[in-house]
């Protein structure tokens, strides 16, 4: 039996009775709406998965306390995939075919999202807000709704920033998978537009711990900037080892890295490391959705544990709930798809999402941040 995460029972958000028959054919009962999520709640990247889950729960708790959506409370079922694509695929099948959720939400990467697609397409399930900007996910798919800028948008911003300061020597580290290779191609294209090419390329396996070869290549190439497209644990280990080996390079990363987790892993060595962000700063209380998020996440967790990732999840959950509201008194998968298509220039409070029947890429917002002292972020 698939193990289901149940840490939020106290919030009254989870109903775990596999095979109980409480959920109707499309995840909607008289009192509840089931939403499914697969994420890394164990293993090397569990902090990232927990942030996504907690940000979504913060919003769903808030809206449920106010009576839910059209009289129904949203219940998020989160299943651990340990950052393993095979497990995420099976989790998708269980959530759709056994738990019969209305929609899938908030998968932690393209690699974890893609294995669920056959079940999504077979059953016509809305797949909302996968946490990735990978190019393969940006291509239009009827059932998939992206709420963040692409990695191409982020990488262009990073290259543009450093190139404008006169830096010309760039190294790249990426995963040896389809998404990682796509990210490498994007960096190469961005550099090529400026008459440049990488001085070294580090190709790494997911969960690889021996980084010696890639570190040695960077030290030998002596780049001005190392652009990372890997997750926080790999990235943090690489930065630590490269600095220890004597490199004076600056480091810049896509939002995929998990900014807060990276800052925590690096500690004092993180100062000056740049991370692209696809949501506003989580400390900028002048932005209405940020102020709303901070109050909700503190209530959800019992502490002021803020991050870009949980803010993004909060925003995405808010947009999903708006789609459910527009889907009618008794939402179905098809009516939710049509409702999401109707979300045009929707302002969640300082962040705008824009979908249509031909565009499912909801935002192109990108801002560069740098880790400062104490693991905070400067903008």
**Region 323-347: what's the mean pLDDT?**
97
> Between the CA of residue 136 and those of 114, 150, 152, what are the distances in Å?
9, 10, 11
Instruction: Express as a percent the part of the chain with pLDDT over 90.
Output: 82
Largest CA distance in the chain: 64
**Alpha-carbon gap, residue 205 to 175, rounded angstroms:** 6
The C-alpha angle 295, 299, 305, rounded to 5 degrees, equals 75
Domain boundaries, the chain: 4-148+286-364, 151-277
CATH class of the domain comprising 151-277:
alpha beta
Residue 3 is predicted with a pLDDT of 42
Lowest mean pLDDT among 8-12, 74-78, 205-209, 219-223: 8-12
Residue 184: enclosing H or E segment and its boundaries? helix 178-192
> Is the pLDDT at 23 greater than 80, yes or no?
no
Instruction: Express as a percent the part of the chain with pLDDT over 70.
Output: 93
Residue 25 is predicted with a pLDDT of 64
Residue 285 is predicted with a pLDDT of 95
**Alpha-carbon gap, residue 245 to 255, rounded angstroms:** 26
Residue 12 is predicted with a pLDDT of 38
Q: Do 290 and 350 form a contact (C-beta atoms < 8 A)?
A: yes
* Residue 367 CB neighbours (<10 A): 17
Per residue in 298-318, pLDDT tens? 999 999 999 999 999 999 999
- Top pLDDT among 129 and 135 is at 129
* Most confident range, picked from 3-12, 119-128, 226-235: 119-128
Residue 45 is predicted with a pLDDT of 82
Tell me whether the CATH fold assigned to 4-148+286-364 matches the one assigned to 151-277: yes
Strands (E), 10-157: 32-39, 73-80, 103-105, 127-128, 144-145
CATH of domain 4-148+286-364: 3.40.50.2300
Mean pLDDT of the chain, nearest integer: 91
**Region 19-40: what's the mean pLDDT?**
79
- Top pLDDT among 208 and 348 is at 348
Question: Which residues are 367's β-sheet partners?
Answer: 277
> Is the pLDDT at 187 greater than 80, yes or no?
yes
Q: Do 107 and 36 form a contact (C-beta atoms < 8 A)?
A: no
Q: What is the DSSP string of 340-361?
A: HHT--SEESSS-EE---SS--B
> Is the pLDDT at 249 greater than 90, yes or no?
yes
**pLDDT band at 43, cuts 50/70/90?**
confident
> Is the pLDDT at 17 greater than 70, yes or no?
no
**Alpha-carbon gap, residue 222 to 167, rounded angstroms:** 12
Residue 8 is predicted with a pLDDT of 40
Per residue in 211-234, pLDDT tens? 999 999 999 999 999 999 998 889
């Amino acid at each position: 039996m698939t193990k289901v995460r149940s840490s939020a029972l106290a919030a009254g958000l989870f109903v775990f009775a596999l095979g109980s028959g409480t959920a109707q054919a499309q995840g909607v009962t008289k009192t509840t709406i089931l939403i499914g999520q697969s994420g890394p709640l164990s293993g090397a990247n569990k902090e990232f998965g927990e942030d996504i889950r907690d940000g979504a729960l913060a919003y769903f708790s808030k809206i449920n306390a106010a009576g839910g959506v059209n009289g129904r409370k949203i219940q998020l079922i989160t299943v651990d995939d340990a950052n393993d694509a095979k497990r995420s695929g099976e989790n998708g099948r269980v959530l759709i075919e056994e738990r019969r959720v209305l929609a899938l939400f908030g998968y932690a990467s393209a690699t974890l999202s893609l294995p669920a697609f056959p079940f999504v397409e077979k059953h016509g399930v809305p797949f909302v807000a996968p946490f990735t900007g990978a190019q393969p996910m940006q291509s239009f798919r009827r059932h998939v709704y992206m709420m963040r800028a692409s990695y191409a948008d982020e990488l262009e911003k990073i290259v543009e920033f450093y190139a404008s300061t006169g830096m010309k020597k760039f190294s790249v580290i990426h995963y040896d998978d389809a998404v990682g290779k796509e990210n490498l191609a994007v960096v190469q294209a961005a550099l090529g537009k400026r008459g440049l090419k990488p001085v070294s390329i580090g190709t790494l396996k997911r969960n690889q711990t021996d980084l010696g070869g890639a570190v040695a290549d960077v030290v030998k190439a002596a780049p001005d900037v190392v652009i990372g497209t890997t997750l926080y644990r790999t990235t943090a280990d690489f930065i630590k080892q490269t600095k220890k080996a004597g490199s004076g390079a600056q480091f810049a990363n896509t939002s995929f890295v998990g900014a807060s987790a990276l800052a925590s892993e690096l500690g004092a060595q993180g100062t000056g490391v740049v991370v692209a962000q696809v949501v506003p700063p989580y400390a900028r209380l002048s932005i209405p959705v940020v102020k709303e998020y901070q109050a909700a996440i503190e209530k959800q967790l019992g502490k002021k544990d803020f991050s870009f990732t949980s803010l993004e999840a909060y925003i995405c959950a808010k947009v999903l709930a708006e789609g459910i509201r527009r889907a009618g008194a008794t939402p179905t998968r098809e009516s939710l798809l049509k409702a999401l298509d109707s979300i045009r220039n929707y302002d969640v409070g300082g962040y705008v999402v824009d979908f249509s029947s031909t565009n499912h890429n909801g935002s192109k917002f990108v801002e560069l941040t740098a880790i400062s002292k104490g693991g905070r972020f400067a903008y």
